[in-house]
């Protein structure tokens, strides 16, 4: 520890003003502040500050994402072997499945972090600002919301697009209007729809190895075409409520397991890092909307009950990890309730009522990202009005 400190102290002059690597100051700064919380004391204002900083905040989110990541790695392997007709038992071949999944997910992580952090550092150097911690989370989110068959060059392109256009163009972390990870996904969704939709993309591995009768359809696609009957009569009873709950179904890497997502939600709520208001209202809005459709009941997909809707697709992942991004969500506490509720309703509306898009959460959240300032405006204006009314009363 002392040796590291000494190494940093020796190198520091080179990276400071006037040094040989002056331009790389913020690269060095990022490395230094990662290893050591800087010995910087309060300048003016308060003389004691809370221990929390952005690094710890972001790291907590990363920890909350770990259950989804680890389960996702295993499930990528599990789905592959299911498709190939081997090791259908959940408990068999753990190492083989994890190894295969790691072979798929690890390159995705490397590409996402490599490209994203590369651009972050580049911008930090060019624009002379410190490297922000926000990408620690974004870089992990991006692979988790992609299908496991996504070509790595596409992932790289999407990450670059999201970081440059979605974030840096607005001024970096804290200034962006749209959720950065979702910008990456929506870019691929519209630019390369063939690689982002359909039944063939959710299981890793060459289709030649799969058994003939195998369909790679997600539970959502099956329910969409045939409703509850199709879900429950799926060969091999793959889509029981229990399987949906544990997450042993095809889908994007990190989104399938209700259990893993709930573990993450528990961490975020217990630490106070994620807004429970948003999580609860997104789910409430989604359940209310699904229940309404079930009550009207005009068609097999509409008849799917709300608890199945929650267990399928990416609604929970979106509610816990996407909608809660503090920068792009509503900023007022009351606004968060409205923001979450509208995401829940709109997302479920797109899922059930719109035949053009298979899933609604990405679009619902991006849409509400745009409207979040408008929601805040209502509550901020109310505060201003209250104050104005008081002035005339006296």
Partner 1 sequence: MNYQLRRGLTLKLAGTPGGATFDGKQPASFAIKPGDIPGIEAIPHVLVGPGDSVLAGQPLVRVKAQPEVQLSSPVSGRVYEIRRGPKRAVEEIVIEADREIQFVEFRKPDLASRDEIVRLLLESGAWGLIRQRPFNVFANPGVVPRDIFVSCFDTAPLAPDPEIVMQGREGAFAEGLAALACLTEGRVHLGVRAGSKTVAVDLSASLPKIAIHQFDGPHPAGNVGVQIHHVAPLSKGQIVWTIKPQDVAIIGSLVSRGVFDARRTIAITGSNLQRTGYVQTRLGAAVAPWVENNLKAEPARLVSGNVLSGKQIALASHLGFYDDQLTVIAEGDQPEFLGWLLPSYPRPTMSRTFLSYYAKDREFDVTSSQHGKKRAFVMTGEYERVVPMDVLPQHLLKAILGRDFERAEGLGIYEVVEEDFSLCEFVCTSKQPVQRILREGLDWIRSEA
Our finding on whether 356 is near partner 1 (CB under 8 A) is: no
Our finding on whether 236 is near partner 1 (CB under 8 A) is: no
End-to-end CA distance of the chain: 64
Q: Are 152 and 143 in contact (CB under 8 A)?
A: no
Residues 313, 223, 243: CA angle, nearest 5 degrees = 60
In angstroms, give the least distance from the CB of 304 to partner 1: 35
Which of residues 40, 235, 295, 355 is near partner 1 by CB under 8 A? 40
Our finding on whether 327 is near partner 1 (CB under 8 A) is: yes
In angstroms, give the least distance from the CB of 341 to partner 1: 17
For residues 360 and 344, give the distance between their C-alpha atoms in angstroms, rounded to a whole number: 9
DSSP string of 82-100, one letter each residue = HHTT---STTTTHHHHHHH
Our finding on whether 49 is near partner 1 (CB under 8 A) is: yes
Distance of CA 102 to the CA centre of its chain: 19
Site residues for partner 1, 57-76, by CB under 8 A, read: 57, 59-60
Q: Are 105 and 72 in contact (CB under 8 A)?
A: yes
Which of residues 144, 186, 289, 329 is near partner 1 by CB under 8 A? 329
In angstroms, give the least distance from the CB of 34 to partner 1: 8
Our finding on whether 394 is near partner 1 (CB under 8 A) is: yes
The residue to which tokens 């870019």 are assigned: 187
Our finding on whether 50 is near partner 1 (CB under 8 A) is: yes
Which of residues 336, 343, 344, 349 is near partner 1 by CB under 8 A? 336
Tokens of 272: 């106070």
Which of 141, 120, 119 lies closest to 365, judged by CA? 141
Q: Considering only the stretches 52-60, 80-88, 199-207, 362-370, report the one whose residues sit in contact with partner 1 under the rule CB under 8 A.
A: 52-60
Tokens of 177: 């209007």
Whichever of 50 and 89 has its CB closer to partner 1, that residue is: 50
Which of residues 18, 38, 206, 355 is near partner 1 by CB under 8 A? 38
In angstroms, give the least distance from the CB of 31 to partner 1: 13
Q: Considering only the stretches 37-45, 158-166, 224-232, 233-241, report the one whose residues sit in contact with partner 1 under the rule CB under 8 A.
A: 37-45
CA torsion, points 240, 245, 248, 253, in degrees to nearest 10?
140
Query: Which stretch of DSSP H or E encloses residue 45?
Result: none
Return all residues near 272 (Cβ < 8 A) that are at least 6 apart.
Answer: none
Site residues for partner 1, 155-214, by CB under 8 A, read: 171-175
Site residues for partner 1, 263-282, by CB under 8 A, read: 270-273, 275
Distance of CA 14 to the CA centre of its chain: 38
Our finding on whether 235 is near partner 1 (CB under 8 A) is: no
- How many residues lie near partner 1 (CB under 8 A)? 60
The residue to which tokens 């979106």 are assigned: 318
Burial environment of residue 204 by CB neighbours within 10 A (0 to 12, 13 to 18, 19 or more): buried
Q: Using CB under 8 A as the criterion, what x/- string covers residues 126-145 for binding partner 1?
A: ----x-xxx-----------
**Which residues lie near partner 1 (CB under 8 A)?**
1, 4-5, 33, 35-57, 59-60, 130, 132-134, 171-175, 270-273, 275, 326-327, 329, 331-333, 336, 376, 380, 383-384, 386-388, 390-391, 394
């Amino acid at each position: 520890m002392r040796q590291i400190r000494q190494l940093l102290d020796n190198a520091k002059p080179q990276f400071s003003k006037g040094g040989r690597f002056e331009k790389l100051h913020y690269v060095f700064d990022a490395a230094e502040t990662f290893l050591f919380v800087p010995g910087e004391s309060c300048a003016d204002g308060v003389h004691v500050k809370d221990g929390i900083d952005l690094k710890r905040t972001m790291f907590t989110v990363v920890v909350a994402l770990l259950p989804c990541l680890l389960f996702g790695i295993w499930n990528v392997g599990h789905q592959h072997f299911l498709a190939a007709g081997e090791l259908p038992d959940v408990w068999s071949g753990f190492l083989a499945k994890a190894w295969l999944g790691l072979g798929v997910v690890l390159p995705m992580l490397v590409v996402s972090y490599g490209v994203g952090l590369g651009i972050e550092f580049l911008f930090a150097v060019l624009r002379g600002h410190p490297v922000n911690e926000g990408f620690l989370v974004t870089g992990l989110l991006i692979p988790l919301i992609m299908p496991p068959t996504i070509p790595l060059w596409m992932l790289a392109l999407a990450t670059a697009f999201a970081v440059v256009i979605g974030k840096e163009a607005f001024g970096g972390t804290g200034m962006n209007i749209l959720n950065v990870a979702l910008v990456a996904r929506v870019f691929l969704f519209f630019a390369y729809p063939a690689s982002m939709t359909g039944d063939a993309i959710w299981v890793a591995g060459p289709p030649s190895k799969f058994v003939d009768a195998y369909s790679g359809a997600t539970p959502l696609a099956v329910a969409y075409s045939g409703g509850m009957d199709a879900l429950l009569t799926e060969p091999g009873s793959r889509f029981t409520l229990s399987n949906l709950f544990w997450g042993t179904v095809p889908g994007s890497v990190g989104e399938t397991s209700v259990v893993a997502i709930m573990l993450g939600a528990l961490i975020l709520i217990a630490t106070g890092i994620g807004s429970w208001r948003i999580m609860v209202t997104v789910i409430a809005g989604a359940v209310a909307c699904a229940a309404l459709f079930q009550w009207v009941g005009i068609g097999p997909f509409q008849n799917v009950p709300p608890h199945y809707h929650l267990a399928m697709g990416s609604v929970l992942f979106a509610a816990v990890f996407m909608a809660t991004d503090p920068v792009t969500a509503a900023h007022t506490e009351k606004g968060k309730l409205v923001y979450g509720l509208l995401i829940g309703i709109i997302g479920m509306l797109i899922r059930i009522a719109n035949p053009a898009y298979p899933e609604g959460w990405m679009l619902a959240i991006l849409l509400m990202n745009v409207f979040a300032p408008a929601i805040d405006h209502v509550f901020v204006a109310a505060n201003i009005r209250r104050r104005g009314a008081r002035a005339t009363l006296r």
